[in-house]
Every structure is written in C-alpha cells, then in structure tokens.
Amino acid sequence: MGEGYAAVMPANAYNWIAVWRRNFLAWRKVALASLLGNLADPITNLFGLGFGLGLIVGRVEGTSYIAFLAAGMVAISAMTSATFETLYAAFARMDAKRTWEAILFTQLTLGDIVLGELVWAASKSVLAGTAIGIVAAMLGYASWTSIVCAIPTVALTGLVFASLAMVVIALAPTYDYFVFYQSLILTPMVFLCGAVFPINQLPSSFQHFAGLLPLAHSVDLIRPVMLERGVGDAALHVGALCLYAVLPFFVSTVLFRRRLLR
C-alpha cells in the first residue's frame, strides 16, 4: 500500500515544469483578457472601499485606510486568483478536458501534475498581487521596493490557497460544490484575517481563531512589508504558511489517486 502512494508522489524535482509550461502556453493565448479579469475586481474593491469607506474611517493603525487596505487587497487577490485557477481551470483539466489523464500516459506522476498546477496557480497569484501592488505604488500608497519585497509572500500565499483548493477539487463531484468552499471558508476568512479592517476589532475568541487561518499569516507578512514596518513573528507566519501549502498537497495527491487511478 505504501508503495502505491510513493508511486503517485513527484518523480523528481523538475517533471512539474512541463505541466507549468503547458498552462503557460494556454494562458498566453488569452493573456490580455485574463490580466484584465484578474485586475478589475481587486482594483474596484480597492478604490470603492478605499476612497468610499476611507472617508468615514479616516486613519487606521497610523496610516490612511486605503494604504492599509491596499496591503490586504494584495493578500486577498493572491488568495482568490490561486483559488479560482485551481477550482475552475485545474478542475476542468482534471475532469472534463482529460488533460491530466493524457499526462498520466507519460512518465509524469500524479504528484508531478499537482505540483505543476500548484506552482502555476501561485504564478497567477504573483501576477495578480503584483498588479495591485503596482497600482498602490503608482498612487503613492506603497514604495516600489516594498512591492518587490512582498512578492515572495504573495507567491507563498498563492501556493497555500492553490494547495487547499486542490483538496476541494479532489473531493468535489462537480463544480456546484465549490460554492460551499467559497462562501463558507473563503469569504469569512477575508473578514476574520485583518485584510479589510484590523484584527483587534474582533472579539478576542475570534482573534485567536483567526490566528489559525492562513490568510491572517499572509496579511501579517505582507502589510508590514508594504507599509515599511518591522515584521513581527516572521518565522511563525512563514512556517504556518508552509504547513498550509505542504500538507494539503500530500492530502490532495492521495485523494486524486483514489479518484483517478482506479
């Protein structure tokens, strides 16, 4: 049995690149539309909430609300773009398009495919997160160097949420089930994790709970970097995110084995 699970893990350190390149080629054909779609939603939120609510809210944690929100928006867009890439695009490749099936005829393993999909989804997060960062920098709410410094965390956030979404698509019989994940897990996380308002506004029990959620760790890394403040507990946050990226990877690969290799 153990042998069976070993066989689905990544075969080597580079097989996944072929999967990433396949997705990149597909994306290149629709790059412009994809970029606009990726950007429109978070930028609308940034301006709508930032300017609108910002007028009422005034300053938050010693900075303007829109600067505070911009950092949260970078984290949220990293989360949503990796999530949606995995839930919809990767699910289609695994299910209806039979792309994964074709890849499994070659020398790649299921783990190679999942890893390639995760890195691809994280790449899209970097694209989306960086785009928001660039808008924030152009408006003077963040420095250009701080955007560059935030990229590794944005990438890690992408890996985390792609990895979690992998578990969802490994279990979901059809697209219809994704809505549960979106509305019961992701949307509450946006409000619990300090992305749009400071976490200390929440009752203390919620604050403790939020500390367990991946988006909170991601926000706690990205915001101080973008506001050029010292990052507290960096090792804890990075460690928690790594755990959230790695564990679901193994869980989803084992679940995919049960779903596809039978």
- Which of 97, 208, 229, 258 touches another protein (CB under 8 A)? 97
Q: Which is nearer to another protein, 21 or 208 (CB)?
A: 21
In the bound complex, what is the minimum distance in angstroms from residue 39's beta carbon to another protein?
23
Please give the C-alpha separations between residue 245 and each of 156, 181, 249, in angstroms, as whole numbers.
8, 17, 7
Pair 219, 72: CB distance under 8 Å: yes
Q: Which is nearer to another protein, 17 or 139 (CB)?
A: 17
Stretch that binds another protein, among 104-112, 119-127, 223-231, 244-252 (CB under 8 A): 104-112
Residue 60 forms beta bridges with which residues? 63
Q: Which is nearer to another protein, 12 or 201 (CB)?
A: 12
For residue 55, state whether it binds another protein (rule: CB under 8 A). no
In the bound complex, what is the minimum distance in angstroms from residue 35's beta carbon to another protein?
18
For residue 108, state whether it binds another protein (rule: CB under 8 A). yes
- Which of 77, 86, 99, 123 touches another protein (CB under 8 A)? 99
Pair 134, 74: CB distance under 8 Å: no
Binding pattern for the stretch 2-41 against another protein, x by CB under 8 A and - elsewhere: -xx--x---x---x--xx-xx--xx--x------------
In the bound complex, what is the minimum distance in angstroms from residue 31's beta carbon to another protein?
13
Cα-flanking dihedrals φ and ψ of residue 194, to 5°? Answer: 75, 20
Q: Which is nearer to another protein, 22 or 217 (CB)?
A: 22
- Would you tell me which residues interact with another protein (CB under 8 A)? 3-4, 7, 11, 15, 18-19, 21-22, 25-26, 29, 97-99, 101-109, 260-262
